Chain A
Amino acid sequence: MAQQLKWQLGTVVEIREETPRAKSLILDLPDWTTHLAGQHVDVRLTAEDGYQAQRSYSIASPPEDTYLMITVDRIEGGEVSPYLTDELRVGDQVELRGPIGGYFVWDSRAEKNDGSPLFLAAGGSGIAPLMAMLRHRANAGNKVPTRLLYSSRSYEEIIYREELDRLSANDPSLHVIHTLTRQRPQNWTGYGRRIDLAMLADTAWPPAEKPLAFTCGPTALVEAVADYLLELGYEPGRIKTERFGPTGG
């Protein structure tokens, strides 16, 4: 039998305010074996009377990093996310175990021989596991043609915005396309609506190129993206989905 994934105490070494609602926690773990981009961890909180709550969070950092990053979207009325975003301070500890999940993963070494392009579609904090893939891809010097379509409510709510700008500016094989669904800056020239069939027809790789697709975000977005990609002719087995439910908090 495989070894059990043990709970371990991570220490918060940095907290990054990504957007008004989302923060990244950067954790130092004493006993971390490396992960694959796309995997997640379980976080467990324990109250003084022994009451515990667990939630899953995607790992946003690439396997190459020393520290582990998770990005937490604050869910109003949630039990765990408001604690992680509002209560936790640098130096605090948090219990977690992982890495978990062996399907929604992308490994630059495995894809290198394949050469088929990568299409990533994210909604909100669903960017986290896809960011791990992009960071891993950059670290590995992997140049597989990659497009990210990222749906956010507003410009201010784009998570990792500057880093995405930087990654794509330095790499002609990476193209990042934003759509803003609720509010747009005055001079915004990009997409301004929810992801639809026409947007995917414009941005996703043609199916003839045998693209591999990953989509992560709220259920409605993921369902729509997966359905539309099928309609465009993508192979069902090459569309990998991960859903962040509204109860994920």
Chain B
Amino acid sequence: MAEQFISRGFKGRMRETDRALKERIPPGQYETKEFPVLSAGPTPRTSLERWDFSIYGEIAEDLKWTWGEFLKLPRETFTVDIHCVTKWSKLDTVWTGVAVDTLLEGVDLDAQPTVSYLMAFCDGGYTTNLPLADVRNGKAWVVYEYDGRPLAPEHGGPARLLVPHLYFWKSAKWVRGFKLVREDRPGFWETAGYHNHGDPWKEQRYEGD
């Protein structure tokens, strides 16, 4: 039924978009040049003196960096497309931050092969869950600059997770740490009706998709 339905009189406008660009827009998404803000509660503001980033959980030794230490970690500047479950996609966004691979260097994951998930924790209480396979091998970063400038609080500053190949709610704002665990548990939106994995190319928006 759904396949045959035509919205009478609807023409749409995305076909004016360049073909090469169109191939970078996942199904059901549209391109925006703006940078919309979405979050479930107030924007937390943590002073950089009190900010730290920790990795803990079912691992031998916890890791922790202060803001100053975090800035000294090897940084990468990279350009990616981002896709929000609320339907907008933004192409060629430029970020600077630390690869999750770099953060995980101090964790002997080979010694703990059953630890294969992480829960990202954030100021404000937000959480999101990810398989480690989705954040390793150059797939994810903790970023603190957007477009060459410090990341604004409403966009997740001082630092946010960035996992561009998944819907943007997985790129947790105001991130403060990872808990590495054996068992996958749903995070904030994942318990509120959204998909556990969130691959935009498979249109995994909501539970059951």
Q: Among residues 178 to 193 in chain B, which have CB atoms less than 8 Å away from a CB atom of chain A? A: 188-189, 191-193
Interface-forming stretch among A62-70, A89-97, A150-158, A179-187?
A89-97
Question: How far apart are the CA atoms of A101 and B190 in the complex, in Å?
Answer: 10
Q: Counting CB contacts under 8 A, is B148 at the interface?
A: no
Are A226's CB and B41's CB within 8 A? yes
* CB of B203 to closest CB in A, whole Å: 9
Contacts of A95 in B (CB 8 A): 2, 5, 7
Are B6's CB and A47's CB within 8 A? yes
Interface-forming stretch among B12-20, B103-111, B158-166?
B12-20
Contacts of A2 in B (CB 8 A): 207-208
Within 8 Å by CB of B11, from A5, A47, A92, lies A47
A236 touching B7 in the complex, CB below 8 Å, given contacts A4-B209, A79-B30, A219-B36: no
Contacts of A241 in B (CB 8 A): 39-42
Are B2's CB and A53's CB within 8 A? no
Interface size class of B (residues with CB under 8 A): 35 or more
Identity of the chain A residue whose Cβ is nearest the Cβ of B32 in the assembled complex: A247
Are A4's CB and B34's CB within 8 A? no
Are A46's CB and B38's CB within 8 A? no
Q: Counting CB contacts under 8 A, is B65 at the interface?
A: no
Are A51's CB and B12's CB within 8 A? yes
Q: Counting CB contacts under 8 A, is A210 at the interface?
A: no
Interface size class of A (residues with CB under 8 A): 35 or more
Are B193's CB and A101's CB within 8 A? yes
Q: Among residues 172 to 193 in chain A, which have CB atoms less than 8 Å away from a CB atom of chain B? A: none
Within 8 Å by CB of B37, from A3, A5, A42, A223, lies A223
Are A87's CB and B42's CB within 8 A? no
Are A102's CB and B12's CB within 8 A? no
Q: Counting CB contacts under 8 A, is B124 at the interface?
A: yes
Quick one: which of B36, B42, B87, B193 has the most chain A CB within 10 A?
Answer: B42
Are A100's CB and B206's CB within 8 A? yes
Are A219's CB and B12's CB within 8 A? no
Are A79's CB and B12's CB within 8 A? yes
Q: Counting CB contacts under 8 A, is B125 at the interface?
A: yes
Q: Counting CB contacts under 8 A, is B54 at the interface?
A: no
Are B28's CB and A229's CB within 8 A? no
Question: How far apart are the CA atoms of A143 and B27 in the complex, in Å?
Answer: 44
Q: Counting CB contacts under 8 A, is B88 at the interface?
A: yes
Q: Counting CB contacts under 8 A, is A237 at the interface?
A: yes
Are B10's CB and A83's CB within 8 A? yes
Q: Counting CB contacts under 8 A, is B1 at the interface?
A: yes
Q: Counting CB contacts under 8 A, is B46 at the interface?
A: no
* CB of B119 to closest CB in A, whole Å: 18
Question: How far apart are the CA atoms of A94 and B188 in the complex, in Å?
Answer: 31
- Nearest 6 CB-CB pairs, A to B? A245-B36, A102-B192, A226-B42, A4-B208, A2-B207, A45-B7
**Residues of chain A having any CB pair with chain B under 8 Å:** 1-7, 9, 42, 44-49, 51-56, 79, 83, 87, 92-95, 100-104, 219, 223, 226-227, 229-230, 236-237, 239-241, 243, 245-248
**Residues of chain B having any CB pair with chain A under 8 Å:** 1-2, 5-15, 27-30, 32, 34, 36-44, 86-88, 124-125, 154, 188-189, 191-193, 205-209
